[in-house]
Structure 1
Amino acid sequence: MDFSRVQLDDDDQKFQDEARRFLSELVTEEVLRRDRETGDNFDEGVHLALGASGYLEREWKPRSEHAFTRIQRRIWDLEKRRAHVPWVTSGTTAMIVKSVEKFGSPEVKDEVLPRVYSGHVRLCLGYTEPDGGSDVATCKTRAVRDGDQWVINGSKMFTTGAHNCQYVFLITNTDPSAPKHKSLTMFLVPLDAPGVEIQGIRTVDGDRTNIVYYSDVRVPDKYRLGEVNGGWTVVREPLDAEHGAVDAAVDGLADVSIMMHQAGFMAAAVDKAAATSTVANPNGRRLIDDGAVGYRLGRCVARLEASLSAPSIFGRVALAQTMRDIAPDLMDILGAASALPSGTDGAADDGAAEYAYRFAPLFGIYGGTLEVFRNMIAQYVLGLGKPNYSPAKT
């Protein structure tokens, strides 16, 4: 792995300066406060401003005349994370838009894509079901053809961002008698269709996600993506992107892990803990004066840096496991005041470690559990074969 620094030419340096200035003015303290309160991880004003300024089209439309170069794309990703741009709904939209371009009907592409690039349309993922766990192919939400329409019935859990989106990338079962990977059909369902009901759910880290009910929802066939019962082909690309199971870019500039944005909160917690440890208390003593504190902070930094450097699906596992391991350590180092959340008087680090602690369990669940990812690494990278879940013989 090459850790050498990329030297920016004048044009790229100018782009970085402009992007940093634009985002610093756009993502204000009010935006961040509102995002913490709502748990949406989305701000419509910010998103529309990104669209109006052309950044969404440059990022998501690689054939655009003004598309980012590879280095500009890397700079843009870094600057968004540095500014803490609310990210979830942009992330799901970015994954789905490629499938719409590839599998969507001409009518749907004309209806959806221009408004995606302007920021007025956002897309969310309709995968997980209440009884489905991490295996999206066990889908029970039914789509039954009725002439040139489909009638959809079922429910989906953890459809994050649905209340801020206009369409859902929905996986359905169109042939219950077929093997599970050959019974699936994908649709881009308008969320304002009659029969769609969105109910909010709060997670332990304060984020909002949703359960969405589909009751006799009628969807014209033009909203079907790909072939009937060929949905697994359609869903694989965004699913692999969400899992981080993608090939590394030859120039080495791609994100090392799909969850790198979320890892920024962990890095901020480590930085704040280190800074807090150097501040003297009323007795003139600093936490860092204790050799055990220095050792533990150093271990946290080392774990953090190693996880940030891990590529693709390995990074997906390393980042989540690292946050689970070091968040309790950071809170223990900082003491009781670290249990106070952001914005609370007396919080040791403005709630950074406390948020990382609450977010850590979910970090290992979003997009699939750590156990699933470890099985994928074992099976597809190490060649250890499929997991055997059959009961032990006695």
Structure 2
Amino acid sequence: MDFSLVELSDEDAAFQQRARTFLDTHVTDEVRRRDRDTGDNFDEGVHLAMGADGWLAAERAPESEGGLNRLRRRLWDLEKRRAQVPWVTAGTTAIVTGSVEKFASPEVRAEVLPKIDSGEVRLCLGYTEPDGGSDVATCKTRAVRDGEHWIINGSKMFTTGAHNCQYVFLITNTDPDAPKHKSLTMFLVPLDTPGIEIQGLRTVDGDRTNIVYYSDVRVHDRYRLGEVSGGWAVLMGPLSEEHGVVDAAHDGLQDVSILIHQGTTMATRVDRIAGILGQKGPDGRRPLDDRAVALRLGRSIARMEAALSAPHMFGRVALAQTMRDISPDLMDILGSGSALPIDTEGATDDGGAEHLFRWAPLCGIYGGTLEVFRNMIAQHVLGLGRPDYSQPARAKAH
């Protein structure tokens, strides 16, 4: 990793200021409050403003075609994070767009890509099934060919953002008798197609996700991405990006790991807590003057700093596990007022630690559970064998 500072030219500094001014204009306190209330992690007004001002097109286009260069892309991403832009639906759209560019028919590319740039079209991920767990290849949602169309039946769980999107990147099973990785076909399904029902679900941290039902959904073959039963090849790029299984860039201008957004939020909350614990009370003493408090806070900060420095898959595991481990300790240090949520009178740190405590379990299952990623590290990085989940053999009775 390269921790050296980047000196901005006058032009790049002006770009940063332009980005900051745009975001401060559109990402208001009202936007952030509304996002907390809805749990959507998306604001259509902000997203459409980004499209109208050319930011979304600049994100997608390569530098040679007028897009952002590496430094300006990094500046833009950091400014969005500073402004707390509601981000999840824009993120799923970005993950899928590459597969649309590479595998979609010319008609679908012409239909979808310009409207991604304008912000009118957003894309969500139709992967997990209610009884499928983290293994997306165990897909039971069926797509059966009917002439130039496909008939799709099944359901998908945790399709976050579906109610704010126009298309879903959908895994289907087109050959139930084939091995699971050779039975999949990918579609980009318009979400206004008859037979699709979206039902909202609230997670423990207040976010909204969805379960989506597909009942005799009729989709034209032009919305197929890639070859029939060749969906695994289409899926691998977006899956790798979501999992954070990507090589580090040569210039160091990338996030250290895929969960760095969540990690940065954790760091901001911990900094606030440290400030509170450093303030003098009516008796003139600071909570940090208690050596036990200082030890526990210091231990939490040390763990957090180590997790923030861990790369790709390691960082995904380290950040999520650290959030799970330190949030209850921080709440305990702060006292009973830390159990109150944001914007509540008497909340010790305006609900920061309480939100981390509720958010931590979700961070441990985004894109797959921590156990899945630990197994991936064991197998693909450490070279260990596959886990054996079979029941142990029973000893024979004598």
TM-score bracket, shorter-length normalisation: over 0.9
What are the Cα deviations for residues 290-349 of structure 1, in whole angstroms up to 9, with x where unaligned?
A: 122222222222212211111111111111011011111111111100000000001001
Corresponding residue number in structure 2 for 1:207: 207
Q: Is 1:254 paired with 2:273?
A: no
Shift in Å, 1:27: 1.0
TM-score normalized by the length of structure 2? 0.97
Greater shift, 30-39 or 74-83, is seen at 74-83
Alpha-carbon separation, structure 1, partners of 2:329 and 2:295: 11
Greater shift, 30-39 or 78-87, is seen at 78-87
Shift in Å, 1:64: 6.1
Q: Is 1:274 paired with 2:271?
A: no
Alpha-carbon separation, structure 2, partners of 1:7 and 1:298: 32
Corresponding residue number in structure 1 for 2:48: 48
Corresponding residue number in structure 1 for 2:192: 192
- The answer as to whether partners of 1:58 and 1:64 remain within 8 angstroms in 2 is no
Corresponding residue number in structure 2 for 1:6: 6
- The answer as to whether partners of 1:379 and 1:386 remain within 8 angstroms in 2 is yes
- The answer as to whether partners of 2:63 and 2:69 remain within 8 angstroms in 1 is no
Alpha-carbon separation, structure 2, partners of 1:62 and 1:317: 31
Alpha-carbon separation, structure 2, partners of 1:84 and 1:64: 29
Corresponding residue number in structure 2 for 1:59: 59
What are the Cα deviations for residues 6-64 of structure 1, in whole angstroms up to 9, with x where unaligned?
A: 22222222222221222122211100100000000000001111111111111122266
Alpha-carbon separation, structure 2, partners of 1:263 and 1:166: 30
Corresponding residue number in structure 2 for 1:221: 221
Instruction: Read off the aligned partner of 1:37 and give its amino acid letter.
Output: D
What are the Cα deviations for residues 143-169 of structure 1, in whole angstroms up to 9, with x where unaligned?
A: 000000000000000000000000000
Alpha-carbon separation, structure 2, partners of 1:380 and 1:320: 20
Structure 2 gaps, min length 5:
none
Structure 1 gaps, min length 5:
none
Shift in Å, 1:218: 0.4
Q: Is 1:379 paired with 2:379?
A: yes
What are the Cα deviations for residues 161-185 of structure 1, in whole angstroms up to 9, with x where unaligned?
A: 0000000000000000000000000
What are the Cα deviations for residues 188-214 of structure 1, in whole angstroms up to 9, with x where unaligned?
A: 000000000000000000000000000
- The answer as to whether partners of 1:201 and 1:208 remain within 8 angstroms in 2 is yes
Give the secondary-structure state (helix, strand or coil) at the position aligned to 2:390. Answer: coil
TM-score normalized by the length of structure 1? 0.98
Give the secondary-structure state (helix, strand or coil) at the position aligned to 1:138. Answer: coil
Shift in Å, 1:285: 2.6
Q: Is 1:305 paired with 2:301?
A: no
Corresponding residue number in structure 2 for 1:367: 367
Corresponding residue number in structure 1 for 2:238: 238
Give the secondary-structure state (helix, strand or coil) at the position aligned to 2:169. Answer: strand
Corresponding residue number in structure 1 for 2:296: 296
Instruction: Read off the aligned partner of 1:301 and give its amino acid letter.
Output: I
Alpha-carbon separation, structure 2, partners of 1:44 and 1:263: 25
Alpha-carbon separation, structure 2, partners of 1:73 and 1:214: 37
CA 1:63–1:175: 2 relative to 1, 3 Å? farther
Instruction: Read off the aligned partner of 2:34 and give its amino acid letter.
Output: R
Alpha-carbon separation, structure 2, partners of 1:82 and 1:63: 24
- The answer as to whether partners of 2:323 and 2:357 remain within 8 angstroms in 1 is yes
- The answer as to whether partners of 1:108 and 1:222 remain within 8 angstroms in 2 is yes
Matches within 5 A, 1:296-375: 296-375=296-375
- The answer as to whether partners of 2:155 and 2:214 remain within 8 angstroms in 1 is yes
| Aligned-pair Cα RMSD in Å | 1.1
Q: How many residues align?
A: 394
Greater shift, 368-377 or 281-290, is seen at 281-290
Shift in Å, 1:279: 2.2
- The answer as to whether partners of 1:104 and 1:224 remain within 8 angstroms in 2 is yes
What are the Cα deviations for residues 221-254 of structure 1, in whole angstroms up to 9, with x where unaligned?
A: 0000000000000011101111111111111211
Shift in Å, 1:385: 2.2
